[in-house]
Amino acid sequence: MKALTPLSLCLSLGLAAAGSQAQTVEMHRVTPEGIGESLGTVDLTDSKDGLVLTPKLHGLGGPAHGFHVHENPSCEPGMKDGKPGAALGAGGHYDPDKSGKHEGPMGHGHKGDLPLLDVAEGKAEKAVTAPRLTLADVKGHSLMIHLKGDNYSDQPEKLGGGGARQACGVIK
């Protein structure tokens, strides 16, 4: 057995401590009919700069998608205006301060806004950081990927224009 040096011991303990501050969220394709196949995972970890979200996703179109924390811990379909909709059980964007505004991850609107999820060749693997969130903030909510990008404004379309809900996972 290899002996641990003081430096490797500190690094090991640091990684173990960091591991206790992490969670993996499995993301599934969602449709108005229900929850579909797994598209991969997103790892959530706290950092000094905020919540880091590291996707390991496949099967997505490109080039970028709206990415949000939603209020409820559900990805179930639901009804809106008499029509079935994908992952409506997740509710709206996470807005604990009741700001009612969509201003992006650096703005003063709701806290559910995350940086855009970049996709290349159907895969999303680039980590993003949400500076106003921690893992404790998002536990018991859901993580959502929208079909289109996000302009971090309520104009010309509400909620950044991300459109339909494409993938969802529950943050336990």
pLDDT on residue 157: 66
- 124 secondary structure, DSSP code: B
**Helices (DSSP H) in 55-119: which residue ranges?**
none
User: Does residue 10 fall inside a structural domain?
Assistant: no
User: Does residue 83 fall inside a structural domain?
Assistant: yes
pLDDT on residue 87: 98
Longest dimension (CA), the chain: 65
Q: How far apart are CA 31 and CA 9, in angstroms?
A: 47
- 138 secondary structure, DSSP code: H
User: Across residues 168-172, what is the average pLDDT?
Assistant: 97
Q: What is the pLDDT of residues 89-143, one digit of tens each?
A: 999 999 999 998 888 899 888 999 999 999 999 999 999 999 999 999 999 999 9
pLDDT on residue 158: 66
Q: How far apart are CA 133 and CA 47, in angstroms?
A: 10
Q: What is the domain-level CATH number for residue 27?
A: 2.60.40.200
pLDDT on residue 111: 94
User: Does residue 91 fall inside a structural domain?
Assistant: yes
Band (pLDDT 50/70/90 cuts) for residue 152 is: confident
Number of domains in the chain: 1
Q: How far apart are CA 19 and CA 99, in angstroms?
A: 33
Closest-CA residue to 29 (of 169, 125, 171)? 169
User: Does residue 66 fall inside a structural domain?
Assistant: yes
pLDDT on residue 21: 79
Q: What is the pLDDT of residues 9-62, one digit of tens each?
A: 344 444 444 444 799 999 999 999 999 999 999 999 999 999 999 999 999 988
User: Does residue 14 fall inside a structural domain?
Assistant: no
User: Does residue 141 fall inside a structural domain?
Assistant: yes
pLDDT on residue 161: 60
Segments forming the whole domain that contains residue 67: 22-171
